[in-house]
Amino acid sequence: MQKEYTISVFSEDMVGLLSRIVTVFTRRHINIESLVTSESSMKGIYRFIVVVTVNEAMVEHLVKQIEKQVDVLKAFHYENDEIVYQEVALYKVPTAIFLKGNHVETVVRAHNARILDIEEDYIVIEKTGHKSQTEALLRELEQIGIYEFTRSGRVAISKHHEPLNQYLKEVEAEVAQ
Amino acid sequence: MKVQHKADIAKNGQAAKSDKPLKTERIKGAEAVVKCLIAEGIKTIYGYPGGAIMPTYDAMYHYQDELQHILARHEQGAIHAAEGHARVTRETAACIATSGPGALNLATGIADAYLDSVPLVCITGQVFSGVLGTDAFQETDVIGCTMSITKWNYQITKPEEIPSVFAKAFYIANTGRPGPVVIDITKDAQNGLLDFHYEKMTNIRTYHPRLKAKKSALEKAAELINKAKKPFILAGHGIQIARAEKVFTAFIEKTGIPIGCTIHGLGTIPNDHKLHTGMLGMHGNYGPNIKTNECDVLIAIGMRFDDRVTGNLEKYAKQATVIHIEIDPSEVNKNVFAHVPIIADAKDALTQLLPMVKKRKHTKWLAEFRAADKIEYEKVIKRDCGPSPEGEIRMGQVMKEVSDQTKGQAIVATDVGQHQMIAARYYKYNTTNSWVSSGGAGTMGYGLPAAFGAKFADPKREVICVCGDGGFQMTIQELGLCAQWNVGVKILLLDNNFLGMVRQWQQLFFDRRYSSVELVNPNFVMIAEGFGVKAKEVSDPKKLKQAIKEMLAHDGPYLLHVRVEKEENVFPMVPSGAGIGDIRLE
Ligand SMILES: Cc1ncc(C[n+]2csc(CCOP(=O)(O)OP(=O)(O)O)c2C)c(N)n1
């Protein structure tokens, strides 16, 4: 059964590693729905967060292929209920629509969005949330009139306690053996 | 992503600790490259020069006594020679080429080494770092191009990176599951100066290649093995890579379990060992194929369930409980589900398992394999090892004869096609590290240069190169290598005037529509002689024995051009898409 999985990869900060990781997906014709790279809480360790929709056997295979890369420390995969995750969306709308009554303001409030920037001809709205939530706001703004829309990739943190540290301890124990 | 701090690389991997004060010397990057190779024990490097790698070639000029460069006639020849070298020594081999076309000519060999787990360090020159990305003369993105066919690759743009990157590359190439690494090095990094100091790498924090077998998994495996009624072992390349032949032999002799080997598992134990049942896979033996689908416990060691071994996965060993001993975690549960996965080096796992298993015999079960052998002998082998009714030599006959005359002690290096399968089937491999062939990639053109590398690395052993008339012409220029170095490779050119393996498929699956498979061949004897390689032609089955005798007696390289039956087919055969149980004997 196909499901949305979030893969979290910890690695060295190496040029070219992103390509190596992406190749693991493209070789199998798997669409990357979202990809975010950032630092991690460990010094010098980088982090990739990838979202894909595949079956369980495939996600396990992908994780092993990623871990096979020499400069990857460890990769984990999660179902949506095992993580806390967010995405950020920005919406550019004409300033004029705000002037036509308070409908837009109500929409912004209802969606817990906020206004980032106000210019003479456009306003930028920001909304943080799950994809379904940023999408819901998009649908409403589309009806009113919108210039531009963009959404970030997913950032996610697992609910389990520090899986990476646990892994590092295991490795240390093994090396010491 | 921010640009990497190149100097960090040394920190990511740790060098061996030493108490001696750090002594450095100020030298050029190019000289450092040579010194790194020497420090890693490389005595021979196969390659081809060109603009972007010239500083390193100049440095090699000064170290000829310590590092011998073998100039191939094509970069593909150089890398296959390095593969042959690594295959028989199980040590990392090195090759070197210039940027652009030079590097890309290595690509086939890199992919080949990746699929067959061959440890290589490949060095490619690169344009000056200042013009990277500008389509400079002979610039190609070697790192990008080789990303998916290397275990690791890295572009050096500063001379001070050289020692740590080489140390890391050598460590990666031959630990865990071996494989090729590429170091791309810009011309300015070769020209620039650094304070050179070399230490081998012993640890990389993101890479843990020597995973120890988990006790719980071993216990489960031992219990299954001790209770099994019809256990069967699949012996893969990993056993020889781990140099685990001895403990493997002890293990099978104690447990009494019959074994089938993958193509790269040939030679793990002698062919005539009582527990050896033959080769697995598409053109393997009848017994091990059908019995895979009848065993109760299947123990796969150092193998990856390649599709040429398994055939249709839906019909593969569904009845069996599978124990999979494998060093590469990504191979476990990839194609075949493992009930008991043991992620470990074969030697480590078998050494631990040995005292846990009971001494047993499986006489009746083994007899079933022997019964299958009889069927195969009557239907296939007897026929294959004699001449055709029209009085033509058959490939099987050649391989059997050369096997008898060399007592199964030679290294057999093959090209790709029908002759390769026949060489795998009818040579009796009685020693380890004797099979040099392109399995995973099936690279035509591999045979001759790989045979050269094998013989160069291990000159005391007889090396037989078995080629088809198609593949031989893909790297025929390397006859020049054999002649120049007087390396006594014995070439058996099995000439059926066809791209035989493709013709066989066209006959069986495309209603005999022979589309572009018939060859118009040159006079091979004349060509060999032109290179300075002694050669002879034979087409009469009665003269074959003598011809092979002469070939083996000759001191130096030799080409025996054998004209064989034109439309011979290789059987048994598991047609593609079929299950191994549906193996065809005719
Ligand atoms: C580089 C490359 N190109 C094409 C193929 C496909 N192929 C596999 S076997 C074969 C025929 C080989 O013919 P030959 O060398 O004469 O050997 P034979 O099968 O006749 O023994 C071909 C074309 C290949 N394996 N490698």
Which SS3 state, helix, strand or coil, does residue B489 take? coil
- Residue B207 is nearest to which of A20, A57, A70, comparing CB atoms? A70
Question: Which residues make Cβ contacts (< 8 Å) with residue B404, sequence separation at least 6?
Answer: none
For B6-204, which CATH superfamily applies? Thiamin diphosphate (ThDP)-binding fold, Pyr/PP domains (3.40.50.970)
Cβ(B577)–Cβ(B509) below 8 Å: no
**Could you tell me the distance, in angstroms and rounded to a whole number, from the CA of residue B479 to the centre of ligand 1?**
19
Q: Which two tokens stand for residue B274?
A: 């009582």
Cβ(B413)–Cβ(B447) below 8 Å: yes
Q: Cβ of B41: how many Cβ atoms within 10 Å?
A: 10
**Fold match flag (A3-82 vs A84-151):** yes
**Fold match flag (B215-369 vs B389-563):** yes
Where in chain B are the domains?
6-204, 215-369, 389-563
Which CATH number is A3-82 given? 3.30.70.260
CB contacts, 8 Å: B208 with chain A: 171, 174-175
Question: Which residues make Cβ contacts (< 8 Å) with residue B511, sequence separation at least 6?
Answer: none
Where in chain A are the domains?
3-82, 84-151
What's the pLDDT band for B13 if we cut at 50, 70, 90? low
Tell me the CA distances in angstroms from B211 to A67, A177, B347, one per residue in order. Answer: 14, 11, 12
Tens digits of residue pLDDT in B313-351: 999 999 999 999 999 999 999 999 999 999 999 999 999
Provide the residue type at B386 as one letter.
G
Residue B58 CA to residue A105 CA, distance in Å, equals 73
Across the interface, whether the CB atoms of A12 and B12 are under 8 A apart is answered yes
CB contacts, 8 Å: B12 with chain A: 12, 44, 71
Count of A-B CB contacts under 8 Å: 64
pLDDT of residue A172: 73
Residue A35 CA to residue A51 CA, distance in Å, equals 7
pLDDT of residue A173: 74
What ipTM goes with this model? 0.91
From the list B28, B35, B168, B187, the catalytic residue is: B187
Cβ(B154)–Cβ(B22) below 8 Å: no
Q: Cβ of B514: how many Cβ atoms within 10 Å?
A: 14
Do strands B276-279 and B259-261 pair parallel, antiparallel, or not at all (unpaired)?
parallel
pLDDT(B374) > 50: yes
Q: Does A43 touch chain B (CB under 8 A)?
A: no
**Could you tell me the distance, in angstroms and rounded to a whole number, from the CA of residue B475 to the centre of ligand 1?**
13
Q: Does A104 touch chain B (CB under 8 A)?
A: no
Tens digits of residue pLDDT in B266-312: 999 999 999 999 999 999 999 999 999 999 999 999 999 999 999 99
pLDDT(B221) > 90: yes
B395, B416, B466, B519, best to mutate for ligand 1 pocket (most atoms within 8 Å of CB): B416
Cβ B166 under 6 angstroms from ligand 1: no
Cβ B495 under 6 angstroms from ligand 1: no
* pTM recorded for the entire structure: 0.95
CATH topology of domain B389-563: Rossmann fold (3.40.50)
CATH topology of domain A84-151: Alpha-Beta Plaits (3.30.70)
Residue B549 CA to residue B500 CA, distance in Å, equals 26
Across the interface, whether the CB atoms of B147 and A19 are under 8 A apart is answered yes
| CATH architecture, domain defined by B215-369 | 3-Layer(aba) Sandwich (3.40)
What Rg do the C-alpha atoms of chain A give, in angstroms? 20
CA B60, B64, B65: angle at the middle one, nearest 5?
A: 145
Residue B293 CA to residue B317 CA, distance in Å, equals 5
**Could you tell me the distance, in angstroms and rounded to a whole number, from the CA of residue B496 to the centre of ligand 1?**
12
Cβ B568 under 6 angstroms from ligand 1: no
Tens place of pLDDT for every residue, chain A, 177 residues?
999 999 999 999 888 899 999 999 999 999 999 999 999 988 889 999 999 999 999 999 999 999 999 999 999 999 999 999 999 999 999 999 888 888 888 999 999 999 999 999 999 999 999 999 999 999 999 998 999 999 999 999 999 876 787 887 777 776 665
Provide the residue type at B242 as one letter.
A
Least Cα separation, residue B315 to chain A (angstroms)? 19
Q: Which two tokens stand for residue B49?
A: 């020069």
